[in-house]
A = this chain, B = another copy of it.
Amino acid sequence: MAWRPSATVNMRAALFHKSRIATVPFYAGEPAGPSVKTAIPGPRSKELAKDLDTVFDTRALNMLTDYSRSSGNYIADADGNMLLDVYAQIASIPVGYNNPALAKAASSPEMVSAIINRPALGNFPPHDWADVLRSGILKAAPKGLDNVFTAMAGSDANETAFKAAFMYRRQLERGGRDVEFTPEEIESVMSNKGPGASQLSILSFKTGFHGRLFGSLSTTRSKPIHKLDIPAFDWPQATFPQLKYPLEEHAAENAAAEQVSIDEVEHLIKSWHLPPAAIIVEPIQSEGGDNHASPDFFRKLREVTRRHGVLMIVDEVQTGIGATGRFWAHDHWNLQDPPDMVTFSKKAQAAGYYYRMPELRPNKPYRQFNTWMGDPARALLFRAIVDEIERLDLVNNTANVGAYLYGQLEQLSKVHPDHFQNLRGKGQGTFIAFDTPKRDEFLVKAKSLGVNIGGSGATAVRLRPMLILRESHADILVDVLDKIARSF
């Protein structure tokens, strides 16, 4: 079945006086709408999945994807179905499948060289590495954070940031950069014991997600299934404010909940048996179900961390690179002084942490080091992504389309209040979510109607479209959501 706009959508479009320009896709060649030809998964996908499962765990399989046929906002599966994709590889495709500008960058001799001559960046950086950084990763740097350490993905971006925090904290405690390690430290650390192995912690928030390696998983508090059986550090967790939506209707009680959380953070900083060297926080808790907090909350968090000499790491792995209608979600906060570190990955395709103070470089070489230390191929791709975002003004696009989409969803939630609860993400670009009681069934129905959507937390549907979403795509999405609600 090829997608056709319903009468409802046409009416809504007319009401909003959409300009023609906001409905034209950014790239030619994108399908006019979804097209679902088989059940999903279809027969070919089932056959391929059965075969794949003999060598690769397929129990988390969502769709066997034909990337060569996917285009812009549309993802193609192995049975010829074409879905509007507002999940985008768990929020990690920035400017569309088979984006022509990215294809050009990926075919360049520079990229080919980066792929086949992968350097050990710390030892043998390319002679033009400063230029590559300045024209890409650092061009996108959050205000006030002029340095970067590059990594592979979100987990090790966070973990290397933690390592920087621990080394910085111990340097302060030791009395400065030039103070040598004691013989006791040098000896004990080889047995994984203190004082050489620091007796410090990272403070994180309940329902937060920061990755799944051993250090990052110790700060992740999303779901038991992510953590069961894995040894963890005895690190503290504070309650993330549990706000009521819409935020503007519950201002007073939300502010009170935020203050309780801030007080808990301060209490933990002062009392936890392994003192926190840093806190890590997402601007919007994403994997945990799209939990928001106000700019005021984050300003208070900055204030309390500064006062206690605890570093503030903002995890923008999912929120960064334009999705919230600002390049970085923490740009919404108007902080007096910036976070100490900001981690990034996903839509950047590159990964790492930006940092503020030069002192966050450890006092000796080879303390923050590994063989590859990131990937120049991904740095080149991020540069092309940043250029594309700039050329097409995609952060503003996301802000505008997000406002339009949010308005449509507000209408929809009035028509189907049971199926669209706690709508959230107003003013946060397309970073929008809602709760729905039969969530898993909801997502399956969405596929059959031509839209690929993701869930998070226990009952949330999270929208994570690419930055090239247009109002016309939003209309298709809203129409399908409407149909799903009606079908229950």
State the A residues within 8 Å of B (CB). Answer: 45, 48, 51-52, 54-68, 70, 75, 77-78, 89-90, 92-93, 97-99, 102-103, 106-107, 109, 111-120, 122-127, 129-130, 133-134, 138, 146-149, 152-156, 159-160, 162-163, 166-167, 169-171, 181, 185-186, 189-193, 196-201, 206, 211-216, 218, 221, 224-235, 237, 274, 345-346, 349, 361, 364-372, 377, 381
Q: Which residue of B lies closest to A159 (CB)?
A: B213
B127 near A64: Cβ-Cβ < 8 Å: yes
Copies in the complex: 2
A226 near B67: Cβ-Cβ < 8 Å: no
Q: Which residue of B lies closest to A123 (CB)?
A: B62
B229 near A166: Cβ-Cβ < 8 Å: yes
Question: Across the interface, which residues of B come within 8 angstroms of A156, CB to CB?
Answer: 152-153, 155-156, 213
Given contacts A118-B92, A153-B152, A233-B192, contact A226 B56 (CB under 8 A): no
Question: Across the interface, which residues of B come within 8 angstroms of A169, CB to CB?
Answer: 229
Q: Which residue of B lies closest to A95 (CB)?
A: B116
Question: Across the interface, which residues of B come within 8 angstroms of A93, CB to CB?
Answer: 117-118
A200 near B234: Cβ-Cβ < 8 Å: no
Question: Across the interface, which residues of B come within 8 angstroms of A234, CB to CB?
Answer: 192-193
Q: 21 pairs across A/B with beta carbons < 8 Å?
A: A52-B130, A55-B133, A55-B148, A56-B130, A56-B148, A57-B365, A60-B369, A90-B123, A92-B120, A103-B112, A106-B111, A116-B381, A154-B370, A156-B213, A166-B229, A169-B229, A185-B228, A191-B237, A192-B233, A196-B229, A197-B232
A116 near B92: Cβ-Cβ < 8 Å: no
Question: Across the interface, which residues of B come within 8 angstroms of A167, CB to CB?
Answer: 228-230
Cα A116 to Cα B155 with chains together (Å): 21
